[in-house]
A = this chain, B = another copy of it.
Amino acid sequence: MTLPHPTAEQISLPNVLAVLGDPTRLAIVRYLASKEGVPLNCSQFLDLCSKTNLSYHLAKLREAGVTRTEVVGTSRLITLRRDDLDRRFPGLLDSVIAAAADDAALPVVGAHEIKIQA
């Protein structure tokens, strides 16, 4: 089974910018980019907001064409649509992710993980 995604051509710039203009969704995208290639399921992002709200934000990202969601059993595997985004908007994703990395005020996925002592 597969969920509705826009084609690469249907991805709209104002839409992508608006969708990325939300700290929670920016955190999701950053994390996806940091785990590029590895499909993640929704539960990875549960420290950002409630499950219901997460479902909403992930739907926004998918509908804007920023992420791809694959239904596998009872979970959704989420990936960044990097090739499509890079083709439609060259350099945009990279500059957004790099800028986000410098912003200490942004929420981060896994911010409360236990750190291994040196």
Interface of A with B (CB < 8 Å)? 12-23, 26, 88-92, 94-96, 98-100, 103, 105-106
Contact = CB atoms under 8 A, between A and B. Distances in A.
Q: Which one of A12, A14, A16, A19 has the greatest number of beta carbons of chain B within 10 Å?
A: A14
Q: Could you say how many copies of this chain the assembly holds?
A: 2
Nearest to A19: B21
Contacts of A13: 26, 96, 99-100, 103, 106
Given A17-B18, A22-B18, A92 B99 contact: yes
Contacts of A19: 21
Contact of A90 (B14, B95, B100): B95
9 nearest A-B residue pairs (beta carbon): A18-B21, A17-B21, A91-B95, A89-B99, A92-B95, A17-B20, A13-B99, A17-B17, A14-B23
